[in-house]
Amino acid sequence: MRLCIGRHDALVLVDIQNDFCPGGALPTQDGDAVVPVANALLACFIAQGALIVATRDWHPADHISFQQRGGPWPAHCVQGSVGAAFHPELQLPKEAFVVSKGMLADEEAYSGFQRTPLHLELQRNRIHRLFMAGLATEYCVRQTALDGLAFGYNVVVVEDGVRGVESQPGDGNRALQEVMEAGGILARAAEVCK
Ligand code: VGL
Ligand code: ZN
């Protein structure tokens, strides 16, 4: 497969935030391993003039997904907290388009498209294809990829650049299968950035 990155492509880095990394409130398995992969992708996508997008989970302190409100998750990614910050080693350029999601207290939002300007920004930039990496494979990466496909984008998930929560072992891989069944493709970072 030949993947030539250009200005109709976007790199979408999903939720590479402290709370989803080891030591955070809702860690993925080995989540900080995505950081060097994301940095390599950033370097090559920036060099090719692609759009850079970074989503972040950005919850109010009383978000419905939190256990204190009967939800499934410990409190995580509370707006302005250290846990909600991007991983300190992630080399996001200042031009990156940052998409905050999950900001309504009473609504769960795993997708970077849900109540955000992401689709509009991609359209404004004539983007046709999305390359995704980040956290967590079976929640926000999965839903952002499925929504991207539903909006008509080509979606490539960088499989070595994602990690899952893996509450049930295999959840991450099952989510990747689902994305492929919906029309997404998988690639390794080394194939994308040569
Ligand atoms: C996520 C669980 C809860 C994610 C966000 O970014 O994948 N997972 N909130
Ligand atoms: Zn969340």
Evaluate if pTM is beyond 0.95. yes
Question: Using a 6 Å CB cutoff, which residues line ligand 1?
Answer: 15, 20, 26, 57, 65, 73, 110, 135-136, 139-140
Please state, in angstroms and rounded to a whole number, the distance separating the CA atoms of residues 74 and 72. Answer: 7
Indicate the SS3 state at residue 160: strand
Cβ neighbours of 122 (radius 10 Å): 23
Contact between 184 and 157 under an 8 Å Cβ cutoff? The reply is yes
Please give the distance, rounded to the nearest whole angstrom, from the Cα atom of residue 172 to the centre of ligand 2: 17
Q: Which tens digit of pLDDT belongs to each residue from 65-106?
A: 999 999 999 999 999 999 999 999 999 999 999 999 999 999
Please give the distance, rounded to the nearest whole angstrom, from the Cα atom of residue 183 to the centre of ligand 2: 26
Across the range 142-154, mean pLDDT stands at 98
Please give the distance, rounded to the nearest whole angstrom, from the Cα atom of residue 122 to the centre of ligand 1: 22
Contact between 144 and 110 under an 8 Å Cβ cutoff? The reply is yes
Please state, in angstroms and rounded to a whole number, the distance separating the CA atoms of residues 98 and 118. Answer: 9
Looking from the CA of residue 140, the nearest atom of ligand 1 is 7
Q: Which tens digit of pLDDT belongs to each residue from 96-144?
A: 999 999 999 999 999 999 999 999 999 999 999 999 999 999 999 999 9
Residue 169: pLDDT band with limits 50, 70, 90 = very high
